[in-house]
Copies of this chain bind each other. A is one copy, B any other.
Amino acid sequence: MRIAIVGGTGDFGQGIAVRLGAHTDHELTIGSRTAEKAVDAAAAYCEIIDYRSTESISGASNDRAVSTAEIAILAVPPFHIRDTVRGLSEQLKETTLVTPAVGLAKDETGFHYRPPDEGSVTELVADVAPDETPVVGAFHNLPAGKLADLETDLDVDTLVVGNDPDARGRVASLAEEIEGITAYEAGPITNASEIEGITPLLINLARYNEQLQDVGARFC
């Protein structure tokens, strides 16, 4: 399967790219606003994974990366999501669009969940994406540092929401291909808000508990 990681040169982009590259055999395209930056990142990720499972990791502009992908993961900061999705509307078509982003604010007491007016980032993406593009929320609560460090075994859950059950199942299956990630479906995108809200909580837990640095959540 061809997977695009839109804005895949940042921390989360690197984490998800190296895990998918090391644990699955899908063809990955790292996307960036400038193709050159994406090509450099792709080369760096290939070195990190030392040519394990993946067929290939290449780099391209975001629109080119998305145009041939079956699944596109939006690894862009929440405040760029709206414009990024709008800018890709020609290329997206029936590509399953996956959003892991979360709206956060920080004050002296900690991080707080600040969803957009649409109710959640997932719902915002669904609002902006073309009608024929299935939107799925997933990968929200993964520990970014551990994700990027292939020496660390993961043992975390990811919750998957989407209004199209097939697309939701496709993304859940992809997530489960990464060793140490268990995916659970959590229904339509109206259920995204409570999932996105866990991310600031995980950051707060790291602040108040030495033993909870860069943790994820498990449900059991």
Taking Cβ atoms with an 8 Å cutoff, the residues of A that contact B are 107, 109-110, 112-113, 155-156, 159, 184-188, 190-191, 193-195, 197-198, 200-202, 204-205, 207-209, 212, 215-220
Looking at the complex, which one of B159, B188, B204 makes contact with A205 (CB distance below 8 Å)? B159
Shortest Cβ distance from A150 into chain B, in angstroms? Answer: 19
| SS of A interface (majority) | mixed
Q: Which residues of B contact A208 (CB under 8 A)?
A: 184-187
Give the distance in Å from the alpha carbon of A107 to the alpha carbon of B193 in the complex. Answer: 14
Beta-carbon contact of A194 and B184 below 8 Å: no
Beta-carbon contact of B202 and A110 below 8 Å: no
Q: Which residue of B lies closest to A199 (CB)?
A: B194
Beta-carbon contact of B159 and A186 below 8 Å: no
Shortest Cβ distance from A173 into chain B, in angstroms? Answer: 15
Beta-carbon contact of B209 and A110 below 8 Å: no
Q: Which residue of B lies closest to A209 (CB)?
A: B184
Give the distance in Å from the alpha carbon of A212 to the alpha carbon of B218 in the complex. Answer: 11
Beta-carbon contact of A191 and B159 below 8 Å: no
Beta-carbon contact of A201 and B188 below 8 Å: no
Give the distance in Å from the alpha carbon of A191 to the alpha carbon of B107 in the complex. Answer: 10
Beta-carbon contact of B109 and A193 below 8 Å: no
Give the distance in Å from the alpha carbon of A109 to the alpha carbon of B185 in the complex. Answer: 13
Beta-carbon contact of A109 and B215 below 8 Å: no
Q: Which residues of B contact A205 (CB under 8 A)?
A: 159, 184, 186, 219
